[in-house]
Amino acid sequence: MKNSLFNNICGASVPGVNEFKTSNYLKKNQPIFREGGIPRGVFCINKGKVKIFTIGEEGKEQIIHVAKEGEIVGFRALFSDEPYRVSATTLDESNLCFVSKEFFFNLVDTNKALRDSIMKELSTELADRAVFITNMAQKSVRERLAFSLIFLDDVYDGEMINLSRDDLANFVGTATETLIRLLKEFKTDALIKTYARKIKLLDKVTILKISSSQ
Amino acid sequence: MKNSLFNNICGASVPGVNEFKTSNYLKKNQPIFREGGIPRGVFCINKGKVKIFTIGEEGKEQIIHVAKEGEIVGFRALFSDEPYRVSATTLDESNLCFVSKEFFFNLVDTNKALRDSIMKELSTELADRAVFITNMAQKSVRERLAFSLIFLDDVYDGEMINLSRDDLANFVGTATETLIRLLKEFKTDALIKTYARKIKLLDKVTILKISSSQ
DNA sequence: CGAGCGATTGAAAAGACTCAACCACCGTGG
DNA sequence: CCACGGTGGTTGAGTCTTTTCAATCGCTCG
């Protein structure tokens, strides 16, 4: 886990953390927090993947991010001192630990390095989201799918991408049917191979090319 | 100027700020910073509007935000310690002041209240962008236009919205022609009235309704 | 073994985009 | 003073992508 944020908050070396953190096992598709809920602390992902999403006006999910082992989720809402504006749900069996707001803020106030990491993290994500917005606005669904596959391949690291078609469509920002049709095209073009819902990338170079407009 | 960030950085009460800040007058459509450039400080907007945008693969601008008097721009890149990943350009004649990186960081390190405001600001914007992404992914252009008009009406406060059609299209995330056609529809529906490029909202209630699907 | 959900396919309709042309305004220079 | 060129705004028509709705398939789980 190279993520310094994680180590600075949940790592064994953080003084006192063991008395304060609680460990939770969660099954697949369990909510971690919900839009509108009151934040009481942060969650560190020890194992499993977590989707971060908003619910659009029509009730459709838009997945903003897929977080993996070593990431911290839910700290943004603590700073803005408002109810959650996004929701988080496990995608697999997961193991999270919870660190209370009080303990977290105490860390932040006393540890400049942690503060700097957090500022950096927030700023970087802000720029990432600017790119995300641009992709949504300007790229075709086909291009966005390619982009998403590259992103998810990284999140799933060695393993195959393992999301429901609905979740994948909600990440790409399209209808499930459209997603399936495009996956089929990618399959016939030998860019990917599917094993039930799992997806393996065969030709990352071409996929990357597609993701950057043609 | 109610924005505490601005007052804590550029306000007359900040000790030493007058020796460090430099004031700049900028004409319409002048670049403030550019994607890829190296950040050397932050800019406080005293007067005028500023667009923050990225350039997509095809060279098309996507406007992410329109900042107004009292806002600070360009501080995110300082924290992430990377080149700018967005660009900023004036939309009107503007008056900005520049505060150097060194002075800014000194303020941040010594002023907890400022730090808290910045964290809050970053976190809030992050959530705003999640909503922006969702809007892009799920709303029709018509709905996004309505949403954008409401947003811009607030930015332009008492005045009428005053953007080129291209800029407006790049904010909504559509082609200029589509934007113009929809504006026309809004005009025939008596939702807005235009005076050359300026736009006045006549029926905010209905526009708001359109912006939230339907 | 049947229910039910997720995945897939088909066909039609709608929304947006592209391209091309045209208009209107404005400042410039002959 | 007026023709000229340029830029930004507007309109039209055709095309293509994407969505929607409906139906079917196939598998898993009780």
User: Tens digits of per-residue pLDDT, B143-188?
Assistant: 999 999 999 999 999 999 999 999 999 999 999 999 999 999 999 9
Contacts 24+ apart (CB under 8 A), A194-198: A195/A160, A197/A162, A197/A163, A197/A164, A197/A165, A198/A160, A198/A161, A198/A162
CB contact under 8 A, B134 and A54: yes
Residues A84 and A176 occupy one common structural domain: no
List all residues 6 or more positions away from B21 whose beta carbon is below 8 Å from its beta carbon: B10, B44, B97, B98, B99, B103
- Boundary (domain end) residue, out of A100, A128, A156: A128
Residues B93 and B53 occupy one common structural domain: yes
Residue B133, strand partner residues: none
CA atoms within 13 A of residue A14's CA, in its CB half-sphere: 23
pLDDT (tens digit, 9 = 90+) per residue, B20-74? Answer: 778 889 999 999 999 999 999 999 999 999 999 999 999 999 999 999 999 999 9
Distances (CA, A) of B210 to A57, A74, B166, B214: 11, 31, 22, 5
Residues A63 and A123 occupy one common structural domain: yes
Would A153 be classed as within a structural domain? Answer: yes
CB contact under 8 A, B56 and A138: yes
pLDDT value of position B26 = 92
pLDDT value of position B3 = 60
Would A62 be classed as within a structural domain? Answer: yes
Q: How many other CB atoms are there within 10 angstroms of residue A185's CB atom?
A: 13
Residues B26 and B87 occupy one common structural domain: yes
Residues A51 and A121 occupy one common structural domain: yes
CB contact under 8 A, A138 and B112: no
pLDDT value of position B1 = 42
Which nucleotide is closest, CA of B196 to its C1'?
A: D9
The alpha-carbon gap from A64 to the nearest alpha carbon of chain B, in Å, equals 7
pLDDT (tens digit, 9 = 90+) per residue, B73-86? Answer: 999 999 999 999 99
Cβ of residue A178 lies below 7 Å from strand D: yes
Residues B20 and B59 occupy one common structural domain: yes
Would B195 be classed as within a structural domain? Answer: yes
What is the longest distance spanned by two Cα atoms in chain A?
A: 56
pLDDT value of position B14 = 79
Nearest Cβ partner for A58 among B86, B124, B138: B138
**3-class DSSP state of A29:** coil
- For A12, the domain range is 4-128
Closest CA relative to residue A149, chosen from A90, A199, A88, A205? A199
Which nucleotide is closest, CA of B177 to its C1'?
A: D10
Helix (H) or strand (E) holding B2: none
pLDDT value of position A29 = 93
Residue B124, strand partner residues: none
CB contact under 8 A, B131 and A80: no
B209 touches chain A (CB under 8 A): no
Which nucleotide is closest, CA of B187 to its C1'?
A: D10
Residues B17 and B96 occupy one common structural domain: yes
For chain A, first and last CA: distance in Å?
35
Which nucleotide is closest, CA of B172 to its C1'?
A: C16
Residues A83 and A162 occupy one common structural domain: no
Q: What angle do CA B168, B174, B176 make, to 5 degrees?
A: 60
B38 touches chain A (CB under 8 A): no
Would B198 be classed as within a structural domain? Answer: yes
How many Å apart are CA B133 and CA B136, to the nearest integer?
Answer: 5
Residues A10 and A109 occupy one common structural domain: yes
Which residues, given as ranges, of chain A have pLDDT below 70? 1-3, 214
Strand C bases with any atom < 7 A from protein Cβ:
6-11, 15-20
- Between the CA of A28 and the C1' of C7, what is the distance in angstroms? 19
Would A25 be classed as within a structural domain? Answer: yes
List all residues 6 or more positions away from A182 whose beta carbon is below 8 Å from its beta carbon: A141, A142, A145
The alpha-carbon gap from B133 to the nearest alpha carbon of chain A, in Å, equals 5
> Of how many residues is chain A composed?
214
Nearest CA in chain A to B132: A133
- Boundary (domain end) residue, out of A128, A151, A174: A128
Closest CA relative to residue A157, chosen from A116, A201, A106? A201
Residues of B in contact with A124 (CB under 8 A): 80, 82
- Boundary (domain end) residue, out of B67, B86, B115: B115
Nearest CA in chain A to B125: A126
pLDDT (tens digit, 9 = 90+) per residue, B113-125? Answer: 999 999 999 999 9
Backbone angles phi, psi at A51, to 5 degrees: -95, 140
Would A134 be classed as within a structural domain? Answer: no
Find and give the residue nearest to C10, measured CA to C1': A177
Structural domains in chain B (count): 2
Would A133 be classed as within a structural domain? Answer: no
pTM, two decimal places: 0.96
DSSP code string of A85-146? SSEEEESSSEEEEEEEHHHHHHHHHH-HHHHHHHHHHHHHHHHHHHHHHHHHHHS-HHHHHH
> CATH number for the domain including B77?
2.60.120.10
Given a contact cutoff of 8 angstroms between Cβ atoms, the answer to whether A36 and A55 are in contact is no
- Between the CA of A206 and the C1' of D29, what is the distance in angstroms? 39
B164 touches chain A (CB under 8 A): no
Would B129 be classed as within a structural domain? Answer: no
Q: Residue B100: pLDDT above 90?
A: yes
**3-class DSSP state of B120:** helix
Residues A165 and A75 occupy one common structural domain: no
Rounded-to-10 torsion of CA B31, B36, B40, B43? 40
Cβ of residue B180 lies below 7 Å from strand D: yes
How many Å apart are CA B202 and CA B192, to the nearest integer?
Answer: 5
Say if residue A157 is exposed, middle or buried (CB neighbours under 10 Å; 0-12, 13-18, 19+): exposed
Nearest CA in chain B to A135: B56
How many Å apart are CA B176 and CA B183, to the nearest integer?
Answer: 11
- Between the CA of A120 and the C1' of D8, what is the distance in angstroms? 41
- Between the CA of A91 and the C1' of D17, what is the distance in angstroms? 31
Residues A84 and A14 occupy one common structural domain: yes
> CATH number for the domain including A166?
1.10.10.10
Nearest CA in chain B to A131: B54
Residues A16 and A55 occupy one common structural domain: yes
- Between the CA of A180 and the C1' of C11, what is the distance in angstroms? 16
CB contact under 8 A, A127 and B62: no
Given a contact cutoff of 8 angstroms between Cβ atoms, the answer to whether A35 and A97 are in contact is no
Residue B195: both structure tokens together: 């005076």
